[in-house]
Amino acid sequence: MSKPAITLWSDAHFFSPYVLSAWVALQEKGLSFHIKTIDLDSGEHLQPTWQGYGQTRRVPLLQIDDFELSESSAIAEYLEDRFAPPTWERIYPLDLENRARARQIQAWLRSDLMPIREERPTDVVFAGAKKSAINGGGKSQCRETVRDGRTFVSTGATEFIW
């Protein structure tokens, strides 16, 4: 069986936390892959000539041979199934409840943190962009995030989840 050709598409600045999530899944699986970039700022992703145009027109986009998949959580789950343990490293816990908890945390990070992400986009983290102090919804969300994060940490899981 030949090794599949794997490509992960990223934004040109490597700012996307969703691309980072897919990158981590590929790394944890121990898979060899190439990274290609698309300039979202110039609208390259909206051009019909871009590989991911037929999908969601967003990154990350995973290409494995002729198969394409977008959305970071779908990518992680697909990689777990396609490159299954024990041949490949496990990225989700073996225990059913811990695996469900890992998926819950993934969904929570992608949905409930939006007010914070709106006030602190990744260019603040990765490019040093300066923004005013967090206020309103972002401040409230910060308090909720700390509260909820403590709940997730105190579940007593015996396996690490990401």
Q: Which CATH number fits domain 96-153: 1.20.1050.10, 3.40.50.620, 1.10.760.10, 1.10.1270.20?
A: 1.20.1050.10
Write down the pLDDT at residue 118.
Answer: 79
Among 57-66, 89-98, 128-137, the least confident range? 128-137
pLDDT digits 0-9 by tens, 115-130: 777 778 888 878 888 8
Helical (H) or strand (E) element with 64: strand 61-64
Closest CA to 61 of 23, 91, 15: 23
Residue 55 DSSP label = T
The domain locations on the chain are 6-82, 96-153
The Cα 116–Cα 107 span in angstroms is 15
| Mean pLDDT in residue range 16-39 | 96
pLDDT tens, position by position, 78-115: 999 999 999 999 999 999 998 998 898 888 888 777 77
Architecture of the domain spanning 6-82: 3-Layer(aba) Sandwich (3.40)
Q: Mean pLDDT, the chain, as a whole number? A: 88
pLDDT at 154: 66
